[in-house]
Structure 1
Amino acid sequence: MLKTLWKITSATFTAWWNDDVFRLAAAIAFYTIFSLAPTLLISVGIASLVFSEEHAKHQIIEEIEKLTGAEGGKVAEQVFNNMIDIRQSPKAILYGLLAVVIGSTAVFANLQAALNQIWHVQPKSDRSVLKDLLRVRLRSFCIVLAVGFLLLVSMVVSAVINGFQALLAERLEGVSWVWRLLNLSMSFAIITLLFAMIYKYLPDVKISWSDVMMGAVITSILFSIGKFLIGFYLGHVAFGSAYGAAGSFVVLLIWIYYSTLICFFGAEFTQVYASSIGVRIRPQDHAEKTQES
């Protein structure tokens, strides 16, 4: 058992180091910054189905702060404050929708390309370029909608938990840790589900749910540990202050870069685990293995 665990861990680190993940993570972080505004706009639109627009923005900022810390919340708040009301004219609505679709899907389209490279698959050369582009964008947009839906679920559950906490606080003293545990468990479950969806649906591969969930759980654990460590570091070093007004964006960029590295490490682990213990990862019908594999 220990020998197998060591073999999987060693192979994961080796593959993670050899697959140029640091360059790939930097590219994803760059695209994410430019996709942030349209993605937040979609999230507000979905959350507004349940909450008012202002309350939805406030809740989204809180959820982002849970993930990235105060600096990420500041960036989201700046985006919301500078967001132009696109409902002023039909032309503005059309341009706004195009910007949302193109911008919000760019990061996931590039994430798919990176995961394909890590898992050594590619679309077949005889495929239609336009057809593949539309397929990638449609799949990426579905992931964006899923992220917005998960954010909505997180907000609703948090509101329910906070409501019960306020209701029972006076009657049941000393049980505040229960609510904190529920909030932490909910956040962990949503992050795990998000990583699982990324590994299952973004790359051009066939992979079993059991292998996906194992990789997603490991990735979520590393993500949670790293979130605490990088938050502690950034909170005590005041790294962003050296960049003045752009400090919050720089801190968020670093956090996205780290998170992407963890996502890629989880992808490498999933591949090694599937090859060693689970069901071997195979290309989808429209894809093929690369020569590197």
Structure 2
Amino acid sequence: MVWRNLIDECKTLGEAWVRYECASLAAGVSFYAALSIFPLMLVLVAAVGSFFRFMERGQNAVEEIHLTIAQQLSPQAADSFTDVFEQIQTRALFNGPLAGLMLLFAATLVFFQIDRAFYRIWDLRQRVGDLGIWGALRRMLVSRVRSLGLVMGTCFLVVVVFVSGLAFRAVMSMAQEWFPEVSILSPLVASLISVVINLGVFSFLYKFLSKEWVSWLVCLKAGVVAAVLLECGGWVLGALSFGSNFSAYGLIGSFLVVLLWIYYSVMVLLIGALIVRTGTRPLVDFRARI
């Protein structure tokens, strides 16, 4: 019975994926994400710039981030990130308000497109023509504020991930002094922590972006699936980026790896959104509308 229900849910999920053209939606969101990723990185780094500056462990973490990017993407990408970080670290507290507003506006583009994708999945249309000029401006402003809230939430997540990473490395370092065999379990524990963090992020996004009331149980169910898929995809894409297929092209190859990762991440996000969508309404009613 359990397997049959699981197969039925997978069939319904596949039908919903085809109906809403989620692959095309993910490609569209990825395009805007490519335009927003560097402004978003600037905003995120600027938000935690003072946190890195005034903490000794933060300075060590910058070196670890440089090493991680060099291993995952390329040394050129790591050098570029370090250059940008140094510039923002010296100017994060003194940049003009206009530059900050422009960065925030560019960073919200990707979240605005994700919100539009959720409208499509929930069979809702943004009827701008019936609202008039002021109504359309008000709706656009509300959407931007929601997107800005997601950006601020992402900034908070960056701080949480950074602090949890420091705590994890400190605990593992102390444990290895007493039990050297613990180092074997370090990658597994790191993956579990990543899954738990992603579970919370996905569950919050599904609860916040869904266009109807949804229960936290359905959001957690979709969050588990999305978090596991994202972690598994991270291992696969990480293995691909270690090869010479992308590193031979320098920064362009690194950007291609980033685009591939964004596209896969958006598809995982939409898969979870479909799970929430099909889990909220009865499956029979959903199939009848197809």
The TM-score bracket by the shorter chain reads 0.7 to 0.9
How many angstroms does 1:56 deviate by? 8.6
The 3 A distance-change label for structure 1 pair 120 and 239 is farther
Encode CA deviations 1:193-239: one digit per residue, 9 max, x unaligned: 22122211124332111111111111111111222223223434x33
CA distance in 2, matches of 1:82, 1:52: 15
Encode CA deviations 1:162-211: one digit per residue, 9 max, x unaligned: 11222232222312245444322221111112212221112433211111
| 1:155-174 aligned within 5 A | 155-174=162-181
Encode CA deviations 1:9-52: one digit per residue, 9 max, x unaligned: 01101211221222211121121122122222222233345432
1:268 equivalenced with 2:268 (yes/no): no
User: Residue in 2 aligned with 1:218?
Assistant: 225
Secondary structure, aligned partner of 1:120 = coil
1:105 equivalenced with 2:108 (yes/no): yes
How many angstroms does 1:75 deviate by? 4.2
The two structures have a TM-score, normalised by structure 2, of 0.82
CA distance in 2, matches of 1:270, 1:164: 36
1:96 equivalenced with 2:103 (yes/no): no
1:206 equivalenced with 2:209 (yes/no): no
Among the aligned pairs, what percent are the same residue? 24
CA distance in 1, matches of 2:194, 2:209: 22
More RCO (CA 8 Å, sep 6+): 1
The two structures have a TM-score, normalised by structure 1, of 0.81
- CA RMSD of superposed structures (Å): 3.2
Q: Give 1:235's match in structure 2, choosing from 242, 250, 253.
A: 242
User: Residue in 2 aligned with 1:116?
Assistant: 119
Secondary structure, aligned partner of 2:197 = helix
User: Residue in 1 aligned with 2:12?
Assistant: 11
How many angstroms does 1:118 deviate by? 1.5
CA distance in 1, matches of 2:29, 2:114: 7
- 8 Å contact from structure 1 (residues 43, 151) kept in 2: yes
- 8 Å contact from structure 2 (residues 218, 280) kept in 1: yes
Quick check: which one's helix share is greater? 2
- 8 Å contact from structure 2 (residues 66, 82) kept in 1: no
CA distance in 2, matches of 1:79, 1:206: 40
- 8 Å contact from structure 2 (residues 30, 259) kept in 1: yes
Q: Give 1:252's match in structure 2, choosing from 236, 249, 258.
A: 258
| 1:169-184 aligned within 5 A | 169-184=176-191
1:55 equivalenced with 2:55 (yes/no): no
CA distance in 1, matches of 2:102, 2:61: 20
CA distance in 2, matches of 1:19, 1:69: 37
Secondary structure, aligned partner of 2:177 = coil
CA distance in 1, matches of 2:178, 2:60: 30
5+ residue gaps, structure 2? none
